[in-house]
Structure 1
Amino acid sequence: MRGGIFDELGWPDWELAWREVTGGDHRVELTWQEAWPYVILGGPTTVRVLGAEGIVLRHDLRIPAGDRWGEPGYHYVDGHLLVYWRSQELGYDLRGYWHSAPDEPQPLQGRTRGSQPRRNTITLPLPGGGRTTGGGVLHPADSVVPDELPVITDGTAHWVYRDGDGDGDHGWREYDPASGTHGRRGLPRFLADLPPGESLTEHRSWLRPALSERATPAAVPVD
């Protein structure tokens, strides 16, 4: 406890990744994106993927000079990193590559939002492989980037948050990643079982796989 609570909440691997990406220069602009339970930290020329076990992937970017408009987007799927961006050469459509084939950038299909190709909502790995974005499932080598919707899971079932398409019926809905279908309104039991008289603010409520079996500053496992 010599360093107090601030040392307890520090993350040495994050600090190492930051130094590797920035060279220790606080003026360097960074991009961080999620890949639950990993975090992606990108700089102008290089990117790192971090997990509870430390830095799991280092990659030097191969984005063609002068082609990228805005910030790059990243997805980390089954040990593979997708790097993509809005391409000036392609009329600002998406272009990208998987880090295992960095010299083969190709056009990608997907939705664009201003200068940022990702919404950076939480995406979740699937037990059989792939990563669900709430709007679809992404696998290594895919050339279609699914749209992102808020997604949660109790470890078995999934739910996505829908805005109701203008009818005011917004909230969590059952979601089947295998078929991509969104079903009826519903909640995980942990969120649905509230004490009498209590109400739930759905858009601020979430449930994800625990990072460990013990409580940490980031999360507390529940049954």
Structure 2
Amino acid sequence: MLEELFNRIVDMDEEGAVSMAKEYLEGGGDAKKLLETCRDAMGVIGQKFEKGEYFLSELILGGEIFKNIMEFTLPKIKGGDEKKLGRIVLGTVKEDVHNIGKDIFKVFAEASGFEVIDIGIDTPEEKFVEAVKEHKPDIVGMSCLITAGVASMKRTVDALKEAGLREGIKIIVGGGRVDEGVKQYAGADAWADDAAKGVRLCKELMGIEG
């Protein structure tokens, strides 16, 4: 049944996948194994996107399928039993209110086993600093879709340095205006222009095979 569920998710059969996931759990299935199957399927969707076999619409739909299944599966897993790869503080930087890239990345990161603290859009530097102090993440993810956001990324990295927080974390930047030059300018450790690549790079930053 899990193999069939895997195929339905990869094939974008939302109704069939959600229905089968519910049927599996109602029949006494293992919630952890169900989530692992979903994560494996999301990994394949991400690979297809990177290869150009799937497009943004499939990426969004894959995220929706995973979110729907996660909603009724997570409550069946006892707290603390679910091992996380690491913790990510994630936000769209100040002067940018776009959230679609951030939200897709969040779903894919959670599907891969990361814990993600989403601090929203148009996020000032001080809010990133506060979130890092509070949550002690392994990685900070910054998103921007417009040129104005690039300067905000640099200011945010600088603010983390000034607060003495930069050394203990890895920083990844992403979005439509981000490239290697922006990574260097902002002082980040990695950059990505799509969610699947971003999650793979986060694993690499954590020393986990991507």
TM-score under structure 1 normalisation? 0.27
TM-score under structure 2 normalisation? 0.29
Higher helix share: 2
Higher strand share: 1
Report which structure shows greater RCO (CA 8 Å, sep ≥6): 2
